[in-house]
Amino acid sequence: MDEGTPHAPPHGPHSSVLSEVMRYLHVVRLQKWILVWSLLAAGGLGVLYYLTAKRIYESSADVLVLQTTGNVMEGKDSNQQSIQNLIPTYQKVLLSNAVIDGAIKSLPPKHRHILKNVPRAKWADELRGGLSVSAARLTNVITLNYRCPDPETSAYVVGSVLDSYLKFMQATHQNSSRETLSVLTKEKLELESQLDTRERQLHSLKSQVGI
């Protein structure tokens, strides 16, 4: 046996495990820096987006719908159900051309910049595009929202739409009341005419029989 010949150390299971651990730690170090740079890049992009993104502001208001007339014999639950059935109609009225046109007319000139470069015939569609209405289930509350880049204008638009809606509903109710009064007046005159005819017939009959 030649004692001067060097021998390579044995490659047992311990050296294999150590090698795998070292390789794993090396990969982890590489991935750590990849993760760090990825987070920094994402953060930088987020800051850049925040600084350059167009700001959008939202204003909202709630409308409580009440029924002030109705059959006194109807129960409270029936009256509430009747209101809830009408909620979709009121939502459509809020976004109707009549209400939107009225809101645009009352909107101060300095807040009409949202309609800049928009043909006048398209003003209602442009304003309606930023509006939304919703109603929570089983309630008689309608929520109106408007979004635009100017917070003050956003609030003014919501207020103008609500004012226009209230004026529209008031005018509608007044017209309905006038129509109802007209019908009742016509019926009253017809009844008076019929009563007068009956009285003349009765008077003529009495004269004929000598009463």
Is 148 in a helix, a strand, or coil?
strand
Compute the distance between CA of residue 152 and CA of residue 138 in angstroms, rounded to an integer: 32
CB 100 within 8 A of CB 127: yes
Angle at 90 between CA 65 and CA 111, to 5 degrees: 100
Strand order in the sheet with 141-148: 57-64, 141-148, 131-135
* Local structure of residue 10 (DSSP, 8 states): P
Per-residue pLDDT tens digits of the chain, which is 211 residues long: 445 445 445 555 556 767 776 776 776 676 776 767 777 777 777 766 666 657 789 999 999 887 665 554 455 556 667 778 888 999 999 999 999 999 999 999 999 999 989 999 999 999 999 999 999 888 889 999 999 999 999 999 999 999 999 999 888 878 666 666 666 677 777 777 888 888 887 777 777 776 6
CB 94 within 8 A of CB 70: no
Compute the distance between CA of residue 187 and CA of residue 184 in angstroms, rounded to an integer: 5
Using alpha carbons, list the distances in angstroms from residue 87 to 45, 55, 76, 92: 44, 32, 17, 9
162 contacts: CB under 8 Å, gap ≥ 6: 61, 63, 144
pLDDT computed for residue 125 by the predictor: 95
Using alpha carbons, list the distances in angstroms from residue 43 to 33, 39, 52, 56, 139: 15, 6, 14, 22, 43
Give, for 163, the enclosing helix (H) or strand (E).
helix 151-209
**Its pTM surpasses 0.75:** no
Is 62 in a helix, a strand, or coil?
strand
Give the model confidence (pLDDT) of 50-67 as tens digits: 666 577 899 999 998 876
pLDDT computed for residue 73 by the predictor: 46
What is the pLDDT of the chain when averaged over all its residues?
A: 79
Describe the crossing of helices 151-209 and 97-106 by its angle, rounded to 10 degrees: 120
